[in-house]
Structure 1
Amino acid sequence: MIEAMLIDAEEKQLTDEAVKMWLDDLQDLAYDADDILDEFSTQALRTKSNQQATTSKLNNIIPACFTGLTPSAFKFNFSMGSKIDNITRRLEELRLRTDVLRLKDIAGQRWSSTASWQRPPTSSLPTEPAVYGRDEDKVRILEMVLRIDEPSDANFGVIPIVGMGGIGKTTLAREVFNDETLKDFSPKAWVCVSDNFDVLKISKAILESITSSSCDLNELNAVQIQLKETINGKKFLFVFDDVWSQNYDLWETLKSPFMFGAVGSKVIVTTRHRQVASIMRPNGCYELDLLSDDDCRSVFVKHALEGRDNVTNEKLEVIYQKVVEKCKGLPLAARTLGGLLRSKQIEGEWMNILNNKIWDLP
């Protein structure tokens, strides 16, 4: 299964840095699994050789399944059981990271019986109890949104936020979208685009968000005419989250009604790819940097220990250090690891979790 996933990923020529980290961990897991199989093979040969060398009558009487139950065999079985548990846990963590890194299209058939997978849709409603390390980014994006003197051949400007998966593009866009300083922007709409850049679907989603009513129109022309009339002369703010399409013609078609908005209107786009950003805004984008180690730690602590601020233990510092190393500056990774540890707390006492070294992260 692991080898098949690695082949799939190689054929797709994945280049995202976070995905490469996932692939490195998956390859390490494959090597360790091979080592375990080699140990089993070696032990099987050793056991067979010992049995063949034993000619006592006692061994002819005792069933063969008991002849290997020597102290060394017990030790080997215990050791292998521990290693297999470790492999299983690491495999499960890699499976969970596929949700974070959008890898279900590669691994979905092998991880589970689900026939297809899509990234869960996002909304403009805040999901984080607190956002760490993005204050400066938020200020800069707000300045870009409020700027009205930027060169443009249209009444609206585009602000692409670019960064690797899990870096916090959606969270930052959401923080900006809900900021009080943008209350003069009306109408406002949030659309999660994802893989399928369906112009009709996106146009209807904008229209329905603005009017707070369903749209029964099924022709693109009719939908866009109504959208044009709805935003005509108004300063709008739209967010297109998680855009992947690099089709210039589709973007040109989608934005045609936007031309009728008031000067100063803005469209915020979140994407992993600079090519997408260059199509929507040829003269630049906002590239999001990784979080600092301290901010990653804050994200992890918030999700792992919320309501348990009184927990103090020297081993926590070891956990924090390992988490920071694994997160590589990605807040979504810190949140996911925090959620995993939080879920483990439900299953057992805190100290048992630490003593059993559940967080000896791979």
Structure 2
Amino acid sequence: MAVGELLLSAFFQVIFDRLAPHGELLNFVRQLGGGVDSELKKWENTLTMIKAVLSDAEEKQLTDQAVKIWLDSLRDLAYDVEDILDVFATRALEHKLIAEHDHEASTSKVQRLLPVAFFRCFNRYTVKFNHSMRSSVKDITGRLEELCKQRIELGLQLTPGGASSNTAAQRRPPSSSVPTERTVFGRHQDKAKILEMVSANSPSGHANIAVIPIVGMGGIGKTTLAREVYNDKEVETFKFDIKAWVCVSEDFDVLSISRAILESITYSSCDLKALNEVQVQLKKAVDGKKIFLVLDDVWNEDYGLWEDLKAPLMGAAPNSKIVVTTRHSHVASTMEPTQQYNLRCLSDEDCWSLFMMHAFVSRDLTAQQISDLFRDKVVGKCRGLPLAAKALGGLLRSKRHDAWDEILNNKILDLPRQKWHSRSVKFELSLSSFSPEEMFFLLWYFPQRL
């Protein structure tokens, strides 16, 4: 997959994730009425069709100027889609905070912090906002449909399997606890914090087994961080009787996951077919034992399924821990965590170091021979995402050095740093990242900037 296709596809996937059927954003949009949620569903369907021809477009744009213009227009439209979703996400947060305020006692800390007029002011522009956003949404729908039509006129061909490539299970192979990176950059503090949470005693009144979700966007390094914690020597001092790693992915099948946990614990194959038989054996294996379990790449939002899965684990010894990696805060909240950890993007320096590790293996070129301009181009395209730095480094590693600038100058890769990072702050952090007082300040200061 070419790097332009890789990064634009990843950009699309962020949009798909935000349009999840039961996500907080779409739930808020449904309340607006006016068919806005139906329009957003059209976006998802149309983007899926467009995504299926990206590979062909990436190849043809090198010789066909019309295709290059089409890709540039698609990139610009993707930014506009993200901007609108950002506004919806911010308004959804405002709506939630206002609802919470209505239930606050008159002596609450939050109400003392800001005047009641602060909350009433939102009602003044609600109608205007709804009308404006419906108009903007319809405009985006029209532009998307036009690009979808143009893809046929340009003769762009469907990539085999491309139309269905937006599911998590197809995007990503299963993970394991075995380290894949020689060095992990920029995660020392994150790792220390997770280790602290793993070692902490569970609060009184809680179950014996505590859930620790690591939440962050795709490609930000959740699995890598979980793997670093899982393999850290300090974990041995926490005296866990059992350690297990299971990659869950999109299909949250209780029987399959229960069997995978049992096999990871016992290091032997399980041929049992019935859920009851598997969970009885799993319960026997963990009862009275202090366990440390990692469930990687979880997408399940069904509380009932989570309850079914954890049932045989409830007999574990006190201070047992389950570390969960997920892209969505609402998935994490389904598991009733005592605390959630929101993973941030890497710094430019750490992104550059990661890129260097993958791009310069077995090369004689040194860092001193690389211009600052080239470095800025690389970190600008990585946007703080370890996966992007690794993918870009792997791509350029196989190319001649004199061809690197040509690849990096491809406009389809342009993702403005300032715009991207402002988005990351607005929609990737969980609401629980800030106190109510901090969120009120942000909403007071930033609405006019959206």
- Is TM (by shorter chain) over 0.5? yes
Once the two structures are aligned, what percentage of the paired residues are identical? 51
1:159 matched to 2:141? The reply is no
Match of 1:287?
342
The one of 349, 361, 372 equivalent to 1:317 is 372
Give, in angstroms, the shift of residue 149 of structure 1: 3.9
What is the aligned counterpart of 1:357 among 400, 406, 416? 406
Superposed CA RMSD in Å reads 3.7
The residue aligned with 1:271 is 326
Deviation string 1:11-54 (CA, Å, 9 cap, x unpaired) is 968459xxx9xx8xx99x99xx8xx99xxxxxxxxxxxxxxxxx
Cα drift, residue 129 of structure 1: 1.0
Aligned to 1:251: 306
Residue of structure 2 in register with 1:198 after alignment: 253
Aligned equivalents of 2:188 and 2:366: distance in 1?
28
Q: Deviations over 1:74-95 (max 9, x none)?
A: xxxxxx83857978999xxxxx
Which residue of 115, 131, 148 corresponds with 2:201?
148
Superposed CA deviations along residues 311-355 of structure 1, whole A, max 9, x for unmatched, are 3565543222111111111111111110110122xxxx433x24x
Alignment of 1:20-39 (within 5 A): none
Measure the CA separation in 1 of the matches of 2:395 and 2:311.
Answer: 45
> Which of 290, 296, 302 pairs up with 1:241?
296
One-letter amino acid of the counterpart of residue 178, structure 2: L
Q: How far apart, CA to CA, are the structure 2 residues paired with 1:234 and 1:309?
A: 52
C-alpha distance in 2 between matches for 1:294 and 1:114: 34
| 1:81 paired residue among 63, 68, 78 | 63
Alignment of 1:174 with 2:174, yes or no, is no
Instruction: Give the Cα separation in 2 of the matches to 1:201 and 1:126.
Output: 24
Amino acid of the residue matched to residue 334 of structure 1? A
Aligned 8 A contact 2:326 2:332 in 1? yes
Q: Structure 2: which 5+ runs fail to align?
A: 21-42, 73-156, 412-450
The equivalent residue for 2:270 is 215
How much has 1:131 moved relative to structure 2? Answer: 0.3
Structure 1 range deviating more: 142-151 or 214-223: 142-151
Mapping of residues 106-121 of structure 1, within 5 Å: 110-113=158-161, 117=165, 118=170, 119-121=172-174
Q: Please give the secondary structure, in 1, of the residue aligned with 2:333.
A: helix
Correspondent of 1:328 among 359, 383, 387: 383
Instruction: Give distance in 2, aligned partners of 1:239 and 1:112.
Output: 34
CA contact (8 A) 1:160 1:281 kept: no
Moved more, 186-195 or 111-120: 111-120
Residue 123 of structure 1, aligned match among 176, 180, 188: 176
Deviation (angstroms), 1:309? 5.4
Counterpart of 2:258, as a letter, is S
Equivalent residues of 1:125, 1:174 under 8 A apart: yes
Query: In the alignment, what sits opposite 2:392?
Result: 337
Separation in structure 1 between the aligned mates of residue 231 and residue 192 of structure 2, nearest angstrom: 13
The verdict on how the C-alpha distance between 1:115 and 1:361 changes in structure 2, with shifts beyond 3 A counting, is closer
Q: Distance in 2 between matches of 1:315 and 1:15?
A: 40
Q: Across the two proteins, how many residue pairs are aligned to each other?
A: 282
Structure 2 vs 1, CA of residues 297 and 241 (structure 1 numbering), >3 Å: closer, same or farther?
same
Q: Judge conservation of contact 1:170–1:270 (CA < 8 Å) in 2.
A: yes
The answer to whether the Cα contact below 8 Å between 1:278 and 1:284 also exists between their aligned partners in 2 is no
Given residue 268 of structure 1, which amino acid in structure 2 is its aligned partner? V
- Aligned amino acid, residue 247 of structure 2: C
Residue 284 and residue 308 in structure 1: after superposition, are their counterparts in 2 closer, same or farther (change >3 A)? same
Amino acid in the other structure paired with 1:129: R
Counterpart CA distance in 1 for 2:177 and 2:205 is 27
The CA deviation at 1:197 is 0.3
Distance 1:179 1:263 in 2: 21
Structure 2 Cα separation of the partners of residues 343 and 9 of structure 1: 26
Distance (Å, rounded) in 1 between the aligned partners of 2:364 and 2:182: 15
Q: Measured at CA, do residues 174 and 312 of structure 1 come closer, stay the same or move farther in structure 2, by a change above 3 Å?
A: closer
* Separation of aligned partners in 2, 1:253 and 1:226: 15
Relative distance call for 1:161 and 1:236 in structure 2 (3 A) is same
Alpha-carbon distance change, 115 to 15 in structure 1, aligned in 2, over 3 angstroms: closer
Taking structure 2 as the reference length, the TM-score comes to 0.56
Q: Which residue of structure 2 lines up, in the alignment, with residue 46 of structure 1?
A: none
